Amino acid sequence: MTNQQVTKQQRQHDRPNVIVFFTDQQRWDTTGAHGNPLNLTPNFDRMAREGTHLVHSFTCQPVCEPARSCLQTGRYATDTGCFRNGIPLPDEARTLAHYFGDAGYRTAYIGKWHLAEEDPVPEAGRGGYEHWLASNVLEFSSDAYDTVVYDNDCREVKLPGYRVDALTDAAIRYIDSHQDDPFFLFLSFLEPHHQNHLDNYPSPDVYQGAYGSRWIPADLLALGGTAPQHIDGYYGMVRRLDDALGRLLDALKSLKLSDNTIVLFTSDHACHFKTRNGEYKRSCHDSSIRVPTAICGPGFQQGRRVRELVSLVDLAPTLLDAAGIPVPQAMQGRSLVPLVQSGGHPTGRRRSSFRSANPRSAARSAPTAGNTASPLPISIRTGMQDRTTTSKSFCTICRPIRTSCTTWPASTPSAASPISSRHS
């Protein structure tokens, strides 16, 4: 081994690289790890099996922009002010890019941003990311086979291939050109989110018609909605995302970066296929808030299944902690590193993990150990159509708080704040 190779290995092992593989609107039960029988996600399943599987992982905001603000900042959307779509991330908000950048990392963002007011996103609205190849609202700037994003100079860039593949190719190119640097890469897909202007789920051609209605989750089977017409395309998109995850992991292996790269897979929220209201999310049911989440890489390769409740807001402090970067006091999430390392149940874990998308419409959760002074609110989603399901068939998050909710509203209040129909 040459001196140059030794020096490169030493630099690589000083600080781990960190990659976030972020999907949009993906249900937890699309994965084999959660019982889906269609073998859509062999790469995620292996990652969950060999790495760390966060079994009960939930978004704290079942809508795109607020959820993204939580993951980027480690703070609740009601704290940053981004509690609904159409409210950009405040200029003063500190994101993962700022913290990793301050620690000497190269930072990059590729894909869907959805935390600004315009496209192309000006430098001030990019959350501190150094390398930029993204669109604020990717579903409007691109289509399944027409991927358009913008670079650091706000120039339009058209990437070849199916959109998932196009973004994955760009990510692999970035990794290849930054092998000698510790890097933090946020790779954000639109899939398996619907294509807004068509209201459909365009999977790659090779998977169209491959899944039909071979397996539909029980809640969708019982409640109907658009699942019968959309589930085939949705599953095809999930399958292609998993193909992309495999390609990314293969690229790391071929570049000898696997042993020093942490990879987080998660999603912003799930999808109920218009069974709880007139769209695909914005409800407090599992089908809207429960997402697949797993982490692999140094510190996470124990083949461990974490069954404690995990919130999207916990993932930012977890990544910083895993990289040896101090977790800022301003972050409201809690690092999962002590939980993973101990293999036990440290005090102070949450008993709820979901915040209201409307800060004026919330019920109290069960007091959280070590944080009884400020119990976390849980959503009573305004404007929901299936009132009976919400009040009688408690979702995973609602069950622990049933005894601490002294009353449940007899009627559903009207929405107190507007929700942009343009952004999703």
Identify whether the C-beta of residue 364 lies closer than 8 Å to the C-beta of residue 401. yes
CB atoms within 10 A of CB 418: 9
What pLDDT was estimated at residue 172?
Answer: 98
Q: How many CB atoms lie within 10 A of CB 206?
A: 12
Contact between 327 and 320 under an 8 Å Cβ cutoff? The reply is yes
Beta carbons of 234 and 216 less than 8 angstroms apart: no
Looking at residue 152, what is its pLDDT? Answer: 98
CATH node for 3-342: 3.40.720.10
The domain locations on the chain are 3-342
Distance CA 274, CA 282 (A): 10
Instruction: Enumerate the β-bridge partners of residue 108.
Output: 131, 185
- The position carrying tokens 């107190």 is 416
Residue 3 token pair: 């001196």
Full-prediction pTM beyond 0.85? Answer: no
Per-residue pLDDT of the chain (424 residues; tens, 9 = 90+): 455 554 555 555 579 999 999 999 999 999 999 999 999 999 999 999 999 999 999 999 899 899 999 999 999 999 999 999 889 999 999 999 999 999 999 999 999 999 999 999 999 999 999 999 999 999 899 999 999 999 999 999 999 999 999 999 999 999 999 999 999 999 999 999 889 788 899 999 999 999 998 999 999 999 989 999 999 999 999 999 999 999 999 999 999 999 999 999 999 999 998 888 777 787 788 889 999 999 999 999 989 999 999 999 999 999 999 999 999 999 999 999 999 988 755 545 555 555 544 444 333 233 333 332 222 333 322 222 222 222 233 333 334 333 333 332 333 323 322 223 334 4
Inter-CA distances, 345 with 22, 157, 219, 235, 333, Å: 27, 47, 31, 35, 17
Nearest to 249 by CA among 240, 261, 238: 261
> Rounded to whole angstroms, how far apart are CA atoms 260 and 87?
36
Name the strand (E) or helix (H) holding 16. none
Q: How many CB atoms lie within 10 A of CB 290?
A: 26
The answer, yes or no, to whether the previous bond of 182 is cis (omega within 30 of 0) is no
Per-residue pLDDT, 73: 98
Q: Given this model, what pLDDT does residue 29 score?
A: 97
Residue 173 is predicted with a pLDDT of: 98
* Beta-strand pair 183-188/17-23: parallel
> DSSP character for 82?
-
In a 3-state reduction of DSSP, which class is residue 378?
strand
CB-based contact 193:238 (threshold 8 Å):
no
pLDDT of residue 414: 31
